[in-house]
Amino acid sequence: MHVNLEQLRSFVEVAQRGNFTRAAEHLHLAQPSLSRQIATLEQDLGAELFARARGGSTLTVAGESLLPLARRMLADADSVRRELAELAGLQRGRVRLGATPTLCISLVAEVLSTFHAAHPGIELHLSEHGSRRLLDELAAGELDLALITTSGAASADRFTVSPLLAEELVVISSAAAPPLTARASLRLTDVAALPQIVFSSSYDLRATTDAAFAAAGLRPEVVLEGAQMDAVLRFVERGLGVAIVPAMVLIDRPGLRSVRLTAPALSRTISLARPADARPTAAVALMQRTIAATATAFAARAGATMRLAAPPAAGS
């Protein structure tokens, strides 16, 4: 049996109108073409569907049995067609994005704002954790994409990792207080003597700064330990102490001033990770492009403290 949707559509139209001529006019078909479709359908099904007469056509018992089935099949086909059109037009879909806490208050906030404004019908999910936890969620199929800062932890056979930004860590202080130095930069030795606010041990950033002080044989003066990023920035704005943070968190924060760090300079690479064996959906591919475009804009705004780690890949 080779029943197709056009045959079913013609059958339903004739059944509704009770007349081949009027049905052909409504379908914009020549009547002989419509008659051939119905005849072929009857041949394939092995039963007559209409009792034909001069005054019109009425359904046979077989036709009456087929009519509700044909209507349901046509409705299902229309539903599938609409769903595919919506997905193609990115009117629906889902993106599950993971990011580290320092990225959530800066890059990710801009990404999600831009993405949602352009595609409000796409459902967004955000997971905020350290890089290793995000990679575990990515491997478990709980995320589509993850913005991480420890790309060395990502196995090349399990993930595709694309570097986005290379970013300096800077020393921040309250804009209401005198500058920390008249120089263009501070040495790590100088920073160790300043009252510091340090992050929770769950932050990738905390491990980086701890390792730098330990390697230099320095023990920083800590006035507050264990804070989250937003709290650290607020405490510094109030003059409680200084902090070492990624350069991008200074964007649009007039209450803070920063100075570059030298001897040694500290930096991090922000990368976008996704499963190596999964083809991204249309919505996920669009999110990748939004992230790449936003990263480019951030690099332009941050000046010397941030640069693109690599040219964005085509279609990424």
Gap between the terminal Cα atoms of the chain: 45
Which spans in 18-120 are helix H? 20-27, 31-45, 61-88, 101-104, 107-118
Q: Which residues contact 284 (CB under 8 A, 6 or more apart)?
A: 95, 144, 145, 274
Give CA–CA dist 58/50, Å, rounded. Answer: 5
pLDDT at position 281:
82
What string of H, E and C letters represents the secondary structure of 136-155? HHHHCCCCCEEEECCHHHCC
Whole-Å CA distances, 167 to 261, 299, 303? 12, 9, 10
């990515």: which residue's tokens? Answer: 138
Joined tokens for residue 132: 């290793």
pLDDT at position 228:
86
- Count of helix runs (H) and strand runs (E) in the chain: 11, 13
Give CA–CA dist 290/36, Å, rounded. Answer: 52
Whole-Å CA distances, 277 to 164, 178, 183, 290? 21, 53, 50, 22
pLDDT at position 84:
63
Q: Which residues contact 162 (CB under 8 A, 6 or more apart)?
A: 271, 272, 273, 310, 313, 316
Give CA–CA dist 187/152, Å, rounded. Answer: 27
pLDDT in tens, the chain (316 residues): 578 889 999 999 999 999 999 999 999 999 999 999 999 999 989 999 999 888 789 999 999 999 999 998 888 887 777 666 656 666 677 899 999 988 988 899 999 999 999 888 889 999 999 888 999 999 888 999 999 986 444 555 788 999 999 989 999 999 999 999 999 899 999 999 999 999 988 788 888 899 999 999 999 999 999 888 889 999 999 999 999 999 888 878 899 999 999 889 998 899 999 998 878 888 888 899 999 999 988 888 777 788 888 644 433 3
Joined tokens for residue 134: 């995000």
Radius of gyration of the chain (CA): 32
Whole-Å CA distances, 253 to 53, 67, 115, 235, 261? 82, 67, 23, 13, 19
> Model's pTM, two decimal places?
0.66
pLDDT at position 238:
95
Domains in the chain, CATH or no CATH each: 5-88 (1.10.10.10), 94-163+268-302 (3.40.190.10), 167-267 (3.40.190.290)
